[in-house]
Chains A and B, each alone.
Chain A
Amino acid sequence: MTRPDEESPVSRNGKHGDDVLTASTSAPSTDADLPESTGGQAGVPLLEVEDFVTEFETPRGMVRAVDGVSFTLERGRTVGIVGESGSGKTVLSRSLMKLTPESKKVNRQGVVRLDGEDILDASVRRMRGIWATRMAMVFQDPMTTLHPLKKIGDQIVESIREHRKVSKAEARESAVALLRSLRIPEAATRANQYPSQLSGGMRQRVAIAVALACDPEIVFADEPTTALDVTVQAQILDLLATMQAKRHMAMVLVSHDLGVVRGRTDDLIVMYAGQVVEQGPTATVLDAPRMPYTEALLESTPRLDSPRHLRLPTIEGRPPNPLAFPPGCRFAPRCRYAQDRCLTEAPPLTRDGDRAYRCFYPVGSEENAAAAKTNRSRGATAAGLAVSDGVEAVSV
């Protein structure tokens, strides 16, 4: 264990989270309307992540980018991961797929089971049998994902031939069919073009084609539409959902946009400073967040139905420095409900039915109302953040 001493309470919390999360993402009701699982052992979830940690050694010390994340993902289901820049959402998806560099400077811990097989310490050789055919990734920027000097058809063919023993002609045929199924007009002609000849939306379709070329069971989509316009974003997300339903794939959708994950994911993980701060069925979490951070994030998002020039509630301050996380709750310095306890004691991920949150004073509870009242009467939180009535008025 190379964990620094001050991290030890957190790792206990992570453990605490294990039992919570395994249950939360695999609601029994979901299996009923889904077709039979395509292979795999019965009763074993497709992807099981337990107390997963990724640390990077930097010149200034150890940075724990992902700290004790647990969830399970079934076939045909989608889990959304949201958080601000630096919250660890991208590192999480990349290190689950073992796309982080293999070196002494990267430390991964925990359990990652794909169909029952622990792949945390799998060799690159073993991973080659998993990448593309079982787990594939769609990245944010389609321009940098695709090789600029190779025809797009060839890039898909390359992926297919790397993993399957088929002739060039056969691979080519399935590449064109795939492009067609991704609704790329004149697919055969397009296959002979270079990425620079395509629009951003078309390029992202091609990147999806490359990812889907070998029929993966899980697709990790890391901000797949952030670089695109809203209309194109809607098309790409629809397309991913269609392909997912058709192939009964599982999907991990990483986004900073709460609107994107809403309605497109079954379960949601909200990350803050490397930790899961809230987790549960997407609609439940977004309709009635328990974690003050999720609540604040929702409030600070401009909505179409809000009146013009309305002041948006903001989240004061900045995410904590990953080299020196605060000893208590990592969100406490920015939280409007923070009490003395939040500054000294790290809240565990607490289970509540099919959801979980990391807060001593969860939104909607009596404790929360009392904490809000205390802070209002003293005009500040325990961390010294000014609390005005204006802030409270908005939260009602």
Chain B
Amino acid sequence: MAGTGTAHLRGDKALLRAEHLVVEFPAKGGKKVHAVSDVSLDVLPGETLGLVGESGCGKSTTGHALVRLTKPTSGHIWFEGEDLAAQNARTLRRTRARLQMIFQDPIASLNPFRKIIDIVIEPLRIWKIGDKAARARRGREILETVGLDPEVAGQRRASELSGGQCQRVSIARSVMLDPKLIICDEPVSALDVSVQASILNLLEDMKEQYGLSLIFIAHDLAVVKKVSDRVVVMYLGKICEVGTSEGLYEEPLHPYTANLLAAIPDADAPVAAISEQEAELPSPLDPPSGCRFRTRCPRAEQRCADEEPVITEHRPGHFAACHFPLVGNTADDDRAMQAAEV
């Protein structure tokens, strides 16, 4: 897996483009945690980009780095013509109004003692938008939009609401300043299935209504597939595979993606036999040489240890960083390969 390269980027059309993003954290003994290593990705206007991978693959760190909640060690984050990675605190503050984030734990991300309506209009208050009455009006409107009764739920404290309701409040708050892009970090993983479905629907509605782009970070592949136009699969701080959600799920190129898909328990189909995959995730303190997935990869050969694979287009719009991708020998695939090489 795990390769470098920017072949999958789509040029100037992108709303946000991260190039060669690296995030390292200092660890004991002068070592470094290689959380995100040379990740490049972009989001088009109106697109939902899914970011999946196991815990520790760097998907959340990538999300945090994109809004500079974590400072990238190196790399660029282009958003509306400016490099976020180089911005100072003051300009960054202004940028962040258009770049919002929704977090995993809906209850922990709201102040439990504040009234919901106050939480929702806080962004307007901070930016001194409108007068008091206008802000309250806007707050009530937005609560209606996310399916909460402003007179009832709006007057409650965050601690009195359920997880699903809190997530609705987080979504309402995130669109207050008319953002262009919302980064959703596991927005539904703390919720029950029935609540999860309504929050996913709400995110789709909000996206349409406000013309948003989303970066959707999650470990649940079925959820990511449902909401995303394009999916990026990460492993140990690197990108393995990038493709449309259908392409990637129907014909995964990277052995790691295939592995992830095989492991999903599906309520509609009996569990398929899962190949024994003994090795644990290697330490990000000392990631394997070459392809970082090689220690767990059934197709690994010497070349994978010596040489890091580069992200390559194996089918139109479907990229993988692998020396031995799972491409069948059908005529279509051969043509796609040739097209990619040309």
Interface residues of A (CB under 8 A from B): 84-85, 183, 185, 199-202, 229-235, 237-238, 256-260, 262-264, 283, 286, 296-298, 300-316, 318
Contact = CB atoms under 8 A, between A and B. Distances in A.
B194 A84 contact: yes
Nearest to A86: B192
B267 A262 contact: yes
24 contacts: A84-B192, A199-B281, A230-B220, A230-B260, A231-B263, A232-B54, A257-B193, A257-B267, A259-B266, A260-B265, A262-B269, A263-B270, A297-B194, A298-B268, A300-B196, A301-B267, A308-B226, A308-B228, A308-B229, A310-B226, A311-B201, A312-B226, A313-B197, A318-B164
Contacts of A313: 197
Contacts of B194: 84, 296-297, 300, 314-315
B251 interface: no
B306 interface: no
Contacts of B196: 300, 302
A231 B54 contact: yes
Contacts of A300: 193-194, 196-197
B55 A230 contact: no
A286 B268 CA distance: 7
Nearest to A312: B197
Given A231-B259, A298-B267, 6 more contacts: A185-B278, A229-B55, A231-B263, A257-B265, A309-B226, A314-B194
A264 B228 CA distance: 29
Contact of A259 (B259, B267, B274, B281): B267
Nearest to B268: A303
A202 B278 CA distance: 11
B280 interface: yes
Given A238-B274, A256-B192, A297-B193, A312 B200 contact: yes
A302 B228 CA distance: 12
A308 B54 contact: no
Contacts of A234: 262-263, 265, 271, 274
Contacts of A231: 54, 259-260, 263, 277
A302 B200 contact: yes
A72 to B, nearest CB: 24
B240 to A, nearest CB: 13
B247 to A, nearest CB: 11
A302 B222 contact: yes
B289 interface: no
Given A230-B263, A231-B260, A298-B267, A304 B197 contact: no
Interface size of B as a range? 35 or more
A271 to B, nearest CB: 13
B55 A200 contact: yes
A304 B192 contact: no
Contacts of A262: 265-271
Nearest to B53: A229
Contacts of B265: 230, 233-234, 237, 257, 259-260, 262-264
B108 interface: no
A331 B207 CA distance: 31
A229 B201 contact: no
B229 to A, nearest CB: 7
A259 B193 CA distance: 11
A84 B162 contact: no
Contacts of A256: 192-193
Q: Chain A's interface: helix, strand, loop or mixed, by majority?
A: loop
A203 B32 CA distance: 24
A312 B220 CA distance: 16
Which of A233, A264, A312 has the largest count of B CB atoms less than 10 A from its CB? Answer: A312
Contacts of B268: 262, 286, 298, 303, 305
Contacts of B220: 230, 302
A183 to B, nearest CB: 7
A318 B264 contact: no
Interface string B210-239: 000000000111110111110000000000
B197 A302 contact: yes
Query: Which 9 pairs show the lowest CB-CB distances between chains A and B?
Result: A259-B265, A258-B267, A263-B271, A300-B197, A315-B194, A312-B197, A234-B263, A229-B54, A263-B270
Contacts of B266: 259, 262, 303-304
B280 A201 contact: yes
A199 B282 CA distance: 10
A183 B280 CA distance: 11
Interface string B242-276: 00011001000000000111111111111100100
Given A202-B280, A256-B192, A259-B267, A304 B222 contact: yes
B219 A230 contact: yes
Contacts of B164: 318
B111 interface: no
Contacts of B261: 304
Contacts of B197: 300-302, 312-315
B204 A309 contact: yes
Contacts of B200: 302, 312
A315 B195 CA distance: 8
Contacts of B277: 231, 235
B198 interface: yes
A183 B227 CA distance: 37
Contacts of A301: 193, 197, 222, 267
A258 B197 CA distance: 14
A183 B264 contact: no
B192 to A, nearest CB: 4
A334 to B, nearest CB: 9
B55 A183 contact: no
A263 B108 CA distance: 35
Nearest to A198: B280
A1 B122 CA distance: 52
